[in-house]
Structure 1
């Protein structure tokens, strides 16, 4: 009998994920209108990211649209993607929407347990994820850590028990006093949050149901209330699930509720880039290389304008505790004995070895050699920063406990300005639970290090954890996503890259690369990667289009405070008749369970008056007069803001609510009305803030000479040798030679989707040339053309006009301009045609967040008459297209064909 073909993990189907995805795209689905409740983000320190929002949306879908509601689900999310933030949000969601008060957090290691204690229950910790005061519906909610859920429970209280899975299992199977036995899980509903859940499938992996495994213990808890109306829940979280194994896939096939793989996490920019420095240097030489690179990284950060403390950390990874302690001793002696003569000799020796192939190390060596007269001072700084007091040996004993007191706190506060540690020596750190952000170098100590698949998989997991992004601050601004991927000044290389220093041994590297591919973890060797010069074709430079042609962008003007004289100037479409949905979910659980909420009706709220507006304003800090005045400079008083016809116009408002069909108007409580008004004013708050901008786009378009702004420029090609599925996700960038004269550059360094667009335009070139005899050119407007130049600000589009999209909805104001990716330049004897084209390879929430750009492009196309030009430029037409997406999913080329009046192919 033929052996069944192995199905790769990426090809597996997960019904819950698929159903939730379908519901997101179904215009008639109740789920599509669901919004993450404000009390979640309002009570968390960190605003949930788009993918975390989607995880909660998917879970909400399973608990409202699928019958029976799944008790057991799995969130399969990348290392570093913020699973604990998601847990905190889900705790609030389950408490408020489904009435769960008891939460058991369990994991297999004490280090993760300690970290999570700081995250969820330790209000004094810098890592605490909740706001100081948790408030839902005006009620103060308390979180209490317990060892046993109390029989009599206090109102407005969430109880959290944190325990290792070993202890949970022991307590369940070995009866002892003051521990939680099975009856405790039968008495009251419990939601179990099981972290690093791949450890709980021991019996599944062995394909036998042992009586007292961790897996068995968790399952007993899960099913302890199956005969009750409110059942126990199990929410599992892990980055690592071996779906390649049939038995694991079968267990989780119908339980996976959300997937956010590592490759997507890195593509979305929430991680550092990862580069490998492969060298034949000794362990001691690798140590010094890492120190020189780390210190140079620090100097670069401050030279690039990073403010606050920037402290890049190095981790030295050893095979055993004994070797780690030995390496620690060698390192301390190395720093203590460092001097100018030896350092110069070391650098010159490294320059003739393979270390010089590293782009990062080569730049660091050049820096130290150019500053030879300052080496004495630099070495003193190195000795100070890397003094033995700033070195942490954080190894675990066999039970997972730190060897010395205080090391846990030090290890988990490395980003703190008061934490001076620059180096960590460890064996088993970073495998699970460590969420340090400012780790920039990992050095593999070779002594006794394994080279088999098991060892390289541990290394790959280590790299994945170390790649978490560090939100350093530049010019007062923090970003939690990469911002310098295409930067030519090496900001990306030194501020947004993790370097893994490893050995240069072919067989081992083959194994490591295989492990990195298996994890879909994109890395590349840190080799010198000089930028490629992208030249304007000499043939194009000879054309009239180049010599006399112009590219058009709209002007911006300063906005005086007097302009902000009404609510509509902030992009708020405030009508006297306000229609809102009533948030009845938390009070109508039984109704939803029995009949669903597919049928609704709209009712008028007779009891609504200005008192609700005033009460809501009292509850919202933003609407305090002194704060509101910052955004509404013309507002004379709160009374005018509340009652003025140009503002909230409270006496004239009518409120209409969408409610279930069986609802009576008397079912709507004053709290319901107040909550609706609060949510409305919160939405207005966002628009007041985004709408108060000091510069705005105008309908006047200025022509800039093509020959001044279309220039040669340099760009690097990112190189990844472990990118697997990631290649498709990230739209891999490559170099393409384009001989056809319609493309004005000799080469195109573009991603696959951008090249697809070029090919689509190319297919129409002959038709276009028949209609536009003078010029048919495609211009790639790369952000690298005028980097660090004032010119780049001129070549941007800005919102103007009434800011309404094609559906007639008022769109939000966006201060920043943007540069569309391409301009199609057409010209005949009658007029000049400029068409902006923007590429979008993203989907979901990221795509939606960019739609304001598409609205602007389409607004230009639909409102040609509004545009103004210089007196001698009346034959100009400027248009924009819908975003171009994969395989022309939005029929952008059909729109183009209609605009330029050619046939669409």
Structure 2
């Protein structure tokens, strides 16, 4: 991991300067964001990091800081699958419209990527085409023409796009062939070079091999043919640890978007490893059953069609071809009897360490025993030899070079029936298949060891295969994960499985390589799905038979309700006061060790003009008008947002709380900007949480316990790679058996804070039973009724007035302490919290609001004698005295003794 640390320490001056510039610019460029002529002419909406990359490039071309520097060569270092080609397509429109470029040379080193990009940028009939059917800018139709040479006489409103391999362009430069473009041709009209997979173009920087040097030299020749030529390079892989590479690119890296952030942002599938000592044939049948189960699960559970693709990866061509033949024989010979025998045999040898996903597949086929003949028939059709691609024509070029370009590049298409790929070549650059769900490493060469180089290549293969599949769900597509981590839906539909050999040293190296890439993965073990059952003893009680849990009713809200910002919980009348340290320190403007003296603090007025407001509104995508309109339906223009009904910014004073040690002129323009940005971010959060189609009321509805408290299943998190996941994870979640009668479930899958809460209540049950005949603690896990329409009812919503922050979405407190005696019933909501306390403070405020506003609470059945209560968050070691509050609510006094157990 030391290597990763050294990478993080490398300085990238241009990138760092642009980050600072993005924060501090207060001139016209400050308000710049992705233009409409890009968003309206492209199929895909830019993601936030693509917007940022385009904005950084704009700064480099227009900012006064760069006016005399001619930033003509830059590199975008962005993760595989993050949409570099989309960004290129947007940059072409930007450079055409803003800077008058008509000639674009796209370079790549393989025909496979070249063909893919031809489809992306020029083939309107392709499902991968990135532009709308007709490109229109400022009322003019723009034509994109693919050319071999840029014409001498160029038509207005035309973009000329030459797409070629770097090899062919280098040959043209140095051999001066007829009808080819030489150096002088690139000097006639200004040209933008788009260099994809740019890490291939620095071979001469790494070494002095003359054959490779010509690539780099030729590209440099084209770039330098004119002062206004531009070179934009794109790559997910750049070895900045190499001294020569670093020296070449340290002042050229314009934007970075790393793999770990890409995964954290949910743009990828989850990754699980299935480690097996099975034979290759058994692994083949396992992955067939799993792949077909995925297809059937999507249709039967969600009424959607996906076509899960399987890739079999071998070390040698002859072994791959042999495996292909064995696979065909396996499908031909498959029968109902052989399938039953195989599943029986596999289930007999399953241990806790074996795959949970395969166990789910086995269970599916066992439960569909009567339909096995139909299933086998479907498997034979789905995995027939005419639905297999054998991409083993050569051992040298990438997988898209092997004669199956059209088939491989359209695997997501409903008309493409291929389900299986056999290959030695890895998942190479340019192959952006999204519905790859299983990769199987065949153990076909005992001589090939799991060296670090081998496993790093496989880790990169897994990373490329993890791109998210935006399948239809309820008629909509999403390019981000939609299901909860650990659910069956996520395991089957949002997870790629890497099936690998069970050899200790190889696995160690593979895990190390995945860790070094910061790619979150875990072994797909048998243990995750755990049953949580309501105790049979509890089902014999009157509380189970007649008891209820209470949540408040919600009513519909029309758009007309949101007529001003106070309806969202935003104070738009008072002056704005922002603490100085929090506004600066959180954004890295003050050392974390500084301790300012606030004993004599005062409010310093923040003076600003319209430029600051425009800058903040443009930098925060929430305030782009199309988005703002979603949350404020009555808003007519973005400028109106500043008016009296809304932010009312012109009639209020902004203060920052500063220590006396700071003078009245101490705030820099940068600091003023960040103070305003902090306030605008807070308001954006309030608007989002305050806007809902439903809102809570003070009327509470009783839901029968026996109908809403039920058995459920839940998984424990299971990841063993990626510092991002392991270092940032909350407390470990585990299964605890709870034998005490007062706990209604036989166990709980909880973290340490939740376990401590249960222990502390356990110590006080005896005291509670002195006042209440029925004392029960109910774990309200959100996994209950997850797939049921009932689930949304069991949520607590804000009601009444006086909330500092309005959040209409509601939440489900984790525990209910149910107390009942002859006279009344008390229901106490309890929410343990280990992190994100500040972000979720509104939940605690709602729990305490209930206690302070009993008069606002009514019940559906007015004859019911029920008290609804809430307590502050239970934190580790009960720092907020939640248990003390429970005693005061339940007994009218503190418990006799407070545990000091931690």
TM-score in terms of structure 1 length: 0.70
CA-CA distance at 1:131 after TM superposition: 0.7
CA-CA distance at 1:130 after TM superposition: 0.7
Preserved CA contact (<8 Å) 2:757 2:832: no
CA-CA distance at 1:129 after TM superposition: 0.7
Q: 2:721 & 2:8 partners in 1: Cα distance?
A: 16
Q: 1:28 & 1:880 partners in 2: Cα distance?
A: 44
Aligned to 1:12: 10
Preserved CA contact (<8 Å) 2:827 2:866: no
CA-CA distance at 1:333 after TM superposition: 2.0
Q: 1:757 & 1:703 partners in 2: Cα distance?
A: 26
Q: Which sections of structure 2, spanning at least 5 residues, go unmatched? A: 570-606, 612-625, 642-648, 651-687, 761-770, 820-825, 887-902
Q: 2:799 & 2:24 partners in 1: Cα distance?
A: 32
- Aligned: 1:311 with 2:307: yes
Q: 2:291 & 2:168 partners in 1: Cα distance?
A: 41
Q: 2:256 & 2:750 partners in 1: Cα distance?
A: 28
Moved more, 381-390 or 335-344: 335-344
Cα 1:131–1:256 shift into 2, 3 Å: same
The correspondence of residues 753-772 of structure 1 with structure 2, limited to 5 A, is: none
Preserved CA contact (<8 Å) 1:368 1:375: yes
Of residues 320, 335, 342, the one that matches 1:339 is 335
Q: 2:186 & 2:10 partners in 1: Cα distance?
A: 34
SS in 1 for 2:858: coil
Moved more, 789-798 or 709-718: 709-718
SS in 2 for 1:200: helix
Q: 1:9 & 1:253 partners in 2: Cα distance?
A: 12
Preserved CA contact (<8 Å) 1:103 1:159: yes
Describe the superposition over 1:795-832 as per-residue Cα deviations: whole angstroms up to 9, x where unpaired.
Answer: 336688999997xxxx9x98x65557899999xxxx99
- Aligned: 1:77 with 2:73: no
Q: 2:453 & 2:705 partners in 1: Cα distance?
A: 57
Aligned to 2:136: 135
- Aligned: 1:274 with 2:275: no
Aligned to 2:589: none
The correspondence of residues 777-792 of structure 1 with structure 2, limited to 5 A, is: 782-792=781-791
Preserved CA contact (<8 Å) 1:36 1:56: yes
Cα 1:819–1:29 shift into 2, 3 Å: farther
Moved more, 722-731 or 442-451: 722-731
CA-CA distance at 1:103 after TM superposition: 2.0
Preserved CA contact (<8 Å) 1:7 1:244: no
Preserved CA contact (<8 Å) 1:412 1:434: yes
CA-CA distance at 1:785 after TM superposition: 3.9
Aligned to 2:383: 386
Aligned to 1:511: 509
CA-CA distance at 1:33 after TM superposition: 4.5
CA-CA distance at 1:750 after TM superposition: 6.8
Cα 1:738–1:39 shift into 2, 3 Å: farther
CA-CA distance at 1:499 after TM superposition: 1.5
CA-CA distance at 1:736 after TM superposition: 9.0
CA-CA distance at 1:204 after TM superposition: 1.9
Aligned to 1:113: 114
- Aligned: 1:152 with 2:153: yes
Aligned to 2:44: 46
Aligned to 1:678: none
Q: Which sections of structure 1, spanning at least 5 residues, go unmatched? A: 574-597, 603-619, 636-640, 649-655, 658-688, 764-773, 888-892, 901-905
Aligned to 1:239: 236
Q: 1:556 & 1:715 partners in 2: Cα distance?
A: 28
Q: 1:207 & 1:879 partners in 2: Cα distance?
A: 70
Q: 1:553 & 1:69 partners in 2: Cα distance?
A: 63
CA-CA distance at 1:51 after TM superposition: 2.8
Of residues 319, 322, 325, the one that matches 1:326 is 322
Preserved CA contact (<8 Å) 1:699 1:867: no
For these two proteins, the number of residue pairs brought into alignment is 775
Q: 2:342 & 2:545 partners in 1: Cα distance?
A: 54
Aligned to 2:468: 469
Cα 1:172–1:601 shift into 2, 3 Å: same
The correspondence of residues 292-307 of structure 1 with structure 2, limited to 5 A, is: 292-307=289-304
Q: 1:65 & 1:839 partners in 2: Cα distance?
A: 47
SS in 2 for 1:477: coil
Preserved CA contact (<8 Å) 1:555 1:699: yes
Describe the superposition over 1:409-428 as per-residue Cα deviations: whole angstroms up to 9, x where unpaired.
Answer: 11111111111111112222
Describe the superposition over 1:766-793 as per-residue Cα deviations: whole angstroms up to 9, x where unpaired.
Answer: xxxxxxxx99x99986422442344421
Preserved CA contact (<8 Å) 1:274 1:497: yes
- Aligned: 1:194 with 2:195: yes
SS in 2 for 1:185: helix
CA-CA distance at 1:434 after TM superposition: 0.8
Q: 2:49 & 2:548 partners in 1: Cα distance?
A: 41
SS in 1 for 2:266: coil
Q: 1:727 & 1:298 partners in 2: Cα distance?
A: 32
- Aligned: 1:498 with 2:496: yes
CA-CA distance at 1:275 after TM superposition: 1.6
Cα 1:526–1:134 shift into 2, 3 Å: same
Q: 1:840 & 1:28 partners in 2: Cα distance?
A: 36
CA-CA distance at 1:119 after TM superposition: 0.7
Q: 1:443 & 1:108 partners in 2: Cα distance?
A: 28
Q: 2:337 & 2:858 partners in 1: Cα distance?
A: 67
Preserved CA contact (<8 Å) 2:736 2:750: no
Aligned Cα root-mean-square deviation (Å): 5.9
Preserved CA contact (<8 Å) 1:711 1:785: yes
Q: 1:117 & 1:462 partners in 2: Cα distance?
A: 24
CA-CA distance at 1:518 after TM superposition: 2.1
Preserved CA contact (<8 Å) 1:714 1:784: yes
SS in 1 for 2:723: coil
Aligned to 2:857: 869
Q: 2:176 & 2:854 partners in 1: Cα distance?
A: 80
CA-CA distance at 1:150 after TM superposition: 2.3
Q: 1:701 & 1:23 partners in 2: Cα distance?
A: 53
Of residues 58, 61, 65, the one that matches 1:60 is 58
Preserved CA contact (<8 Å) 1:396 1:402: no
Of residues 521, 524, 535, the one that matches 1:523 is 521
Aligned to 2:260: 263
Q: 1:155 & 1:570 partners in 2: Cα distance?
A: 51
Q: 1:730 & 1:285 partners in 2: Cα distance?
A: 36
Preserved CA contact (<8 Å) 2:269 2:481: yes
The correspondence of residues 96-111 of structure 1 with structure 2, limited to 5 A, is: 96-111=97-112
Q: 2:721 & 2:21 partners in 1: Cα distance?
A: 34
Q: 1:50 & 1:879 partners in 2: Cα distance?
A: 39
SS in 1 for 2:795: coil
Cα 1:50–1:738 shift into 2, 3 Å: farther
Q: 2:608 & 2:105 partners in 1: Cα distance?
A: 37
The correspondence of residues 649-688 of structure 1 with structure 2, limited to 5 A, is: none
Q: 2:518 & 2:433 partners in 1: Cα distance?
A: 22
Aligned to 1:580: none
Q: 2:190 & 2:529 partners in 1: Cα distance?
A: 60
Cα 1:102–1:744 shift into 2, 3 Å: farther
Q: 2:749 & 2:31 partners in 1: Cα distance?
A: 40
Moved more, 60-69 or 854-863: 854-863
Preserved CA contact (<8 Å) 1:193 1:234: yes
Describe the superposition over 1:307-333 as per-residue Cα deviations: whole angstroms up to 9, x where unpaired.
Answer: 2x3211111122233333322222222
SS in 1 for 2:131: coil
Q: 1:32 & 1:798 partners in 2: Cα distance?
A: 40
Q: 1:599 & 1:459 partners in 2: Cα distance?
A: 54
Cα 1:785–1:344 shift into 2, 3 Å: closer
Preserved CA contact (<8 Å) 1:56 1:90: yes
Q: 1:351 & 1:435 partners in 2: Cα distance?
A: 35
Preserved CA contact (<8 Å) 1:273 1:496: yes
SS in 2 for 1:149: coil
